[in-house]
């Protein structure tokens, strides 16, 4: 085969590959969705945030009450210590107040341990509740996104809100006609309104 023939064959092969790639590209149906916007605008997300804030406020109130009781007990110990330093106190009375102070010190140490355990337990409960609520909401969002994928016959879906390590979104450009974020939000909120269900608040042991 001469040089001209080989060139002609290569050209035809190249055109064939280009045409095939063009057909494959034309058949690829791509969609985009802004998952951050969906999560933010979903009614259940706002309900969950409200319930979590209520739980946090309740935990803070209970913690403040325990802290106030601790402060009062500490004041009582300081008063007893001041009385023991009085020069006119009798030995018998001093011994009684020493015992009373030591008992209160033991009690306040137990109270201090209880406060620390209470704080750690509440923080863990709230973290677990946040994770359960988030997982549940993300599962519902994913279900609706997959329904849209099937109904639209999409081959690929990109999250417009995702950011790379450099801070750029993996999707640098997309036409609005491929974005179905609003449809996902509308479907989720419609179902949420129909069910009337909202995530439960953290339980107190």
Reported as a single tens digit per residue, the pLDDT across 33-77 is: 999 999 999 999 999 999 999 999 999 999 999 999 999 999 998
Strand partners, 30: 156
Q: Report the C-alpha gap between 79 and 42 in whole angstroms.
A: 56
CA 149 to chain centre: 26
* Residue at 77 is within a domain: yes
Q: Hey, what are 192's tokens?
A: 């949420």
Averaged pLDDT for residues 90-104:
86
142 contacts 24 by C-beta, under 8 angstroms = no
Asked, for residue 149, whether it belongs to a domain, the answer is: yes
pTM, two decimal places: 0.65
The verdict on residue 201 lying in a domain is: no
Query: What's the pLDDT score for residue 67?
Result: 92
Please count the structural domains in the chain. 1
CA atoms within a 13 Å half-sphere pointing along the CA-CB vector of 143: 9
- Mean pLDDT for the chain? 80
CA gap 115, 191 in Å, rounded: 42
Residue 203 lies in a domain: no
Does a structural domain hold residue 205?
no
What range does the domain containing 124 cover?
3-195
């Amino acid at each position: 085969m001469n040089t001209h023939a080989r060139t002609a064959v290569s050209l035809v092969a190249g055109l064939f590959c280009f045409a095939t790639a063009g057909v494959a590209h034309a058949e690829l149906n791509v969609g985009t969705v802004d998952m951050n916007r969906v999560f933010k605008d979903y009614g259940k997300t706002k309900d969950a945030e409200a319930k979590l804030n209520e739980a946090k406020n309740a935990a803070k109130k209970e913690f403040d009450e325990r802290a106030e009781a601790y402060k009062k007990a500490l004041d009582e110990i300081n008063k007893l210590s001041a009385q023991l330093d009085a020069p006119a106190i009798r030995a018998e009375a001093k011994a009684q107040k020493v015992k009373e102070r030591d008992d209160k010190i033991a009690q306040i140490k137990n109270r201090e341990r209880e406060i620390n355990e209470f704080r750690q337990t509440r923080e863990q409960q709230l973290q677990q509740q946040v994770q359960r609520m988030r997982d549940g909401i993300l599962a519902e969002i994913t279900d609706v996104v997959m329904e849209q994928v099937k109904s639209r016959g999409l081959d690929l879906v990109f999250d417009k809100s995702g950011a790379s390590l450099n801070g750029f979104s993996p999707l640098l450009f997309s036409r609005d006609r491929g974005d179905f974020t609003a449809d996902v939000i509308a479907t989720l909120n419609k179902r949420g309104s129909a069910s009337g269900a909202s995530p439960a608040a953290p339980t107190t042991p």
